[in-house]
Each structure stands twice: as C-alpha cells, then as structure tokens.
Amino acid sequence: MNKNECFSKLRMLILMNFFIILLLSSLKGFTQIKLTIDSLKLSPPGTVWVKDNIYIDQFPVTNADYTEFLLTVSAYYNPKIHDTIQKIKPYNVNWKKLSEYFFSIEPDDEYMKKLEQEYYSPLSWTSDSSLQFSYYDDEYYSNYPIINISYEQAKEYCKWRTDMVLLSYAINVGNKKKRDVFYTKFAYRLPKFDDWKSAYDLFEIENEPFTKPVSGEDSESEYFHYSHGNVSEMLDEKGKAVGLSWKDMLDVPKLINPIQYQKPSDWLGFRCVCEILEY
C-alpha cells in the first residue's frame, strides 16, 4: 500500500468516526422523545426559545465546538459540500452513499486557512507563552469560550452548524412523519442585539464574577446562560458586540448596550441564534 492509499484510508476512518460522534452530539436529548406527528416541534440542538421564531444558544461557542468545526473542514467540509447539503432530501438519506461522495472531494486548504484561529496572538491576561497554545488545544480548556475569532469566521461557523443539523436530521430520520417533529427550514446566525437582550431579560440573568468554563453541573438545564466577566459576544452587525468580558468592571448600562470591536480579541467570543424560516 503506497503513501497516498494509506492517507486516503486514514482520512476515511477519521471522517466516519468523527461524523458518528457529531451526529450523536447534534441529536443529544432527542433519543428519549417519541417522534410522533402530534408532538410539538423540537428546539434546534443547543438552543432555547426566546421569542417568535428565534432560538438562542444556551452557551457561547467553546474551544471544543470550534475544533469540531475545523475537524470537519479538514476532513471534507467546504463551500461545495455546503451547497450539496442544502439540496439533499430532508429525511431517509443514505449516509454510506453520501459519505462516499464527500470523501471523493479533496479538502479545501484555502478555506481551512481562512478559518484557523490566531494561535500566535498573545493572550493579554498572561505572560506564559505556553498558555498561548494550550488555551486552544489543551482538553482542560475545551469548555472555555473560543476567542480570537473574526466576524467572518463566526459567520462560517454558523453556516456549518446549520448544515450539520440538517444533515443529522436527513440521515437519522427515516420518514416525513418523524421529520415533521423538527423545523423544516432554519438558519443558525449571529444574534441581533434585540435577540440577545430579549434572552437576557427573559431568563433574568444574575451577576456572576481571564475567561472561564461556559457550563458546569447545570449544563443540562434548558435556559440561556451568560456570565459577566467571561467574554463579550459578537452581534450580527460587524464591529458590534454585547456583554461584559473578563477585562471589564461590572457596569449594568454597559452590559446591556452594544459595544465596538475592531478585530479578533481575547475578550471577544460569540454564540449563535437559530432563526426558524419555515415551520
């Protein structure tokens, strides 16, 4: 077996194993629910309802979440795959055949380069150079919010996440009756200020005192989690964010008003909302 054949088999193994994990995580919590046409529509994975057709992430996007994104990009995901996923049937899709097609497309190195974090940007809360890399790669920090991400990278993450949920439904749901339990069309995106403020007001966030983990023992509870003094969060308008980060003193007026940012920073992260486009 030559070097190229070894690489191809390894890539396929990584793709298959990773995607199994991805599908299970995307549909977390669905296995205990009997799928019937009489059921209410289920919330998009990872979100809670805020108002009208808007759901919001319970937590900011973490290092582990973003790493999952990069792994799929390195294995198979790219704009061409995005276009394919947008056109597939909403249920009863043959994963074996689809994965063979995914695997036939070479990874898009240029797309990957656009999405990688700013590993070499110094972390302003420490002078320890080793932490500069371990924050992104060490398992200890996997549940901490992703930082030093650009507006464009955050938007690509939202697009990818929409595709992964659509793909999970298409592969795991066998017929239209069961598929009708889930929303027909939706899109994950960055929040508008009103989305974020509505979630903050609805869930009556309490004051809570470097970044810290985004979830703990109550991570399964279904509400909007926000910790003052963690990271500010990007909004859908480029250059605007909301919330106080680890570098800010607690100031409620500043907390609930948009703030400005110029570039990826170690005090700035993001979370997604999921907008329902068709019920």
Averaged over 148-156, what is the pLDDT? 97
CA distance 246 to 227: 10
Q: Are 272 and 189 in contact (CB under 8 A)?
A: yes
Give the residue with greater pLDDT, 257 vs 42. 42
Side chain identity at 8, as an amino acid letter? Answer: S
Give the strand pairing for 54-57 and 273-278. antiparallel
Averaged over 47-73, what is the pLDDT? 94
CA distance 230 to 250: 11
The average confidence (pLDDT) of the chain is 82
Phi and psi (nearest 5°) for 259?
A: -125, 165
CA distance 237 to 231: 17
Three-class secondary structure of residue 43 per DSSP = coil
pLDDT in tens, 179-231: 999 999 999 999 999 999 999 888 765 544 345 566 544 444 555 666 766 89
The count of C-alpha atoms lying within 13 angstroms of the C-alpha of 133, restricted to the half-sphere facing its C-beta, is 2
pLDDT, residue 210, reads 47
CA distance 193 to 237: 9
Q: Are 68 and 143 in contact (CB under 8 A)?
A: no
Three-class secondary structure of residue 47 per DSSP = strand
Q: At what angle do helices 151-172 and 79-87 cross, to 10 degrees?
A: 40
Which of 252, 190, 257, 200 minimizes the C-alpha distance to 226? 200
pLDDT in tens, 208-218: 434 556 654 44
Cα-Cα-Cα-Cα dihedral sign, residues 129, 150, 88, 279: positive
CA distance 182 to 184: 6
Give the rounded percent of residues in the chain with a pLDDT score beyond 90.
57
CA distance 180 to 28: 18
pLDDT, residue 249, reads 77
CA distance 178 to 201: 34
CA distance 104 to 203: 46
DSSP E strands, 67-116: none
pTM, 2 dp: 0.83
CA distance 238 to 190: 10
pLDDT in tens, 249-262: 776 566 678 999 99
Tokens 């695997």 belong to which residue? 103
